[in-house]
Amino acid sequence: MQELTSFEEWQHVLNESKQFLLFVKTHHCSVCEGLYPQVAALESRYPFPFYRVNAAEVPELAGQLALFTAPVVLLFHQKKELARFARIVPMNDLTKRMDELVEWGNIEDA
CA angle (37, 52, 27) in 5-degree steps = 80
- Residue 65's φ and ψ, nearest 5 degrees, are -95, 5
Residue 4 pairs in a beta bridge with: 53
Query: Based on C-alpha coordinates, what's the Rg of the chain?
Result: 13
Tell me the longest C-alpha to C-alpha distance in the chain. Answer: 44
**Interval 12-41: pLDDT, tens:** 999 999 999 999 999 999 999 999 999 999
**Interval 51-105: pLDDT, tens:** 999 999 999 998 999 988 899 999 999 999 999 999 989 999 999 999 999 887 7
Q: What is d(CA 11, CA 28) in angstroms, rounded to the nearest whole number?
A: 26
Task: Name the residue range of residue 53's domain.
Answer: 2-109
Buried b / exposed e along 1-15 (16+ C-beta atoms within 10 A):
eeebeeeebbeebee
Per the structure, how many domains does the chain have? 1
CATH of the domain at 46: 3.40.30.10
pTM of the model: 0.92
